[in-house]
Amino acid sequence: MRSRVALLIFLFPLVLPAVASAQQSPEKIREDFVVGRVKSISQPQINASLLTNAGITSKQQLVQVEILEGPLKGQIFGITNEITDNPSFNVNAIPGKEVVLSVVQSDKSPAELNIADYHRAPALFALAGVFLAAYLIFGGKNGLKSLAGLLTAIALIGLVLLPLSLQGFNPLISSTLICVAAALVTVLCVGGFSKKSAAAILGTAGGVIIAGIASQAIIDSAPLTGLSSEEAQILRGSVLSQPPEFFAGLLAASMLIGALGVIMDVAISIASAVFEIKEANPELDSKELYRRGMNVGRDIMGSMTTTLVLAYAGSALPLLLLMAHMPSIKLLNLDLVATEIASALTGSLGLVCTIPLTALAAARLMRSEN
C-alpha cells in the first residue's frame, strides 16, 4: 500500500501538467458558409417555448436543404428556420431556391447548420453581365476604355485604400491620393494623353482637394463622429481598435469617394467643351475660352448638383421618412442626419469649384497652342 502511495506521489507532478493542459485546451470552433438548395419545407408552427419564456411571438419550420458545395456536398440536412414578426431578420425558404448556410463545426461535436441568408450572388452576377454587355455594345471602343478606368478605380479602393485603412493609415489622405490616381487613369483611358485630358485631371484634382478640406472642416466643427452608421459601430467594436479621429477620417474619405464620380464627370465635360470650342474657332483667346467654358459649366452645375443630392437622398430614403416625425431642432442635430447633409454639401462644393478650375486650366492649355 505504501509503495502505491509513494508511486502516486512520484507520478503526480508528471501527470498534473498533462491533465491541466487537457482541461485548458480550448475547443476549436470554426464557421464556414456554403450554398444549399431548399428541397422541402414544413408548415410554420408557433415557438411555444419562446412565447412562454420571453413573450416573443415567433414561428418555426423544418427545412430540408441539400448542400451544393464543400465537404458536405450532396448531403441533406433538416434545419430549423425561425420566422419572426420582423421581416429584416427572416429568410423565407422556398423549395427549389438556393440559400447560404452557416456551418459551425468543432472538434468534439457534429456540424450545426443554420440558414444565414438568401443566395443573391447569381442575380447580382447576371445583372452585372447585362450591364457590361450594354456598356460595351453602346460604348464601343470608348466604352471599353471607360470600363478599364472604372475597374482601376475599384481596384485602387479594394487593394490600396481598404488595406491601408485596416492598418491604421489616415483614410482621408489615402482616399485623396487614390481619388486623384483614379481620376488620372480614368481620364487618360478616355481622352488619351492630350491637353484636354490634362485640363480634366487638374480640375478633378482641385475639386477633390477642396471637397476633402471641406469634409474635414465640417467634421471637426460640427462635430461628426463617423460612427452614425451601424456598420461603423460594428467595425469599431469588433474589427478596428482605432481612436475616434480615425473613424472621423473614414467618414471624410467616404464623402470624398462618393463625390469623385460627378466631379470627374463635370471636369471631363467642361474640358471637352472648351476643346471643341477651340477647334471650331482657333482665334479665341484664353479669356474668351474661359468665359465660354464657364457658360457650359453653369448649365452643368444645376443638373449635376441635383444628381449628387438626389443620390444621397435616395440612399437615405428611410431616414427621410423618419425625419418627418421629428422636431426640426432635434432632426438637424442628429449625427446621422447631419452626416448625410454634410456629405451632400461637401460633394456639391467640390463639384461647383471644379467648374472654374477646369475652365481655367482648359483655357490656358488650349490657348498655348497658338
Contact 147, 132 (CB under 8 A): yes
Q: C-alpha dihedral over 300, 305, 311, 314, to 10 degrees?
A: -120
pLDDT for the residue 157: 84
Per the document, the length of the chain is 370
Q: Which cell numbers hold the place of 19?
A: 491533465
Q: How far apart are CA 225 and CA 336, in angstroms?
A: 10
- The owner of cell 436543404 is 65
Q: What is the pLDDT of residues 221-249, one digit of tens each?
A: 888 888 777 777 777 777 667 777 788 88
Distance CA 189, CA 176 (A): 20
* Mean of pLDDT over the chain: 80
> How many percent of the chain have pLDDT more than 70?
85
What residue has cell string 419564456? 53
| pLDDT for 130 | 93
Q: Are strands 29-41 and 98-106 parallel, antiparallel or unpaired?
A: antiparallel
* 14: confidence class by pLDDT, cuts 50, 70, 90: very low
User: In the chain, what percentage of residues exceed pLDDT 90?
Assistant: 12
- Under the banding of pLDDT at 50, 70 and 90, the label for residue 323 is low
**What is the pLDDT, as a whole number, of residue 3?**
42
Q: Is the pLDDT of residue 126 over 90?
A: yes
**Is pLDDT of 165 > 60?**
yes
Q: Specify the pTM.
A: 0.69
- The confidence score (pLDDT) of residue 240 equals 67
> Quick one: pLDDT at residue 370?
45
What is the per-residue pLDDT for 4? 43
Angle at the Cα of 19 (from 14 to 20), degrees rounded to 5?
Answer: 105
CATH numbers and ranges of domains, the chain: 30-119 (2.40.50), 132-367 (1.20.1640)
What are residue 293's phi and psi, to 5 degrees? -65, -40
DSSP H helices in the chain: 2-24, 48-54, 121-156, 162-166, 171-191, 195-221, 230-238, 244-280, 286-315, 317-323, 328-333, 335-367
The residue among 296 and 108 whose pLDDT is bigger is 296
Residue-level pLDDT at 119: 92
Q: Which of 77 and 166 is assigned the larger pLDDT?
A: 77
pLDDT of residue 39: 92
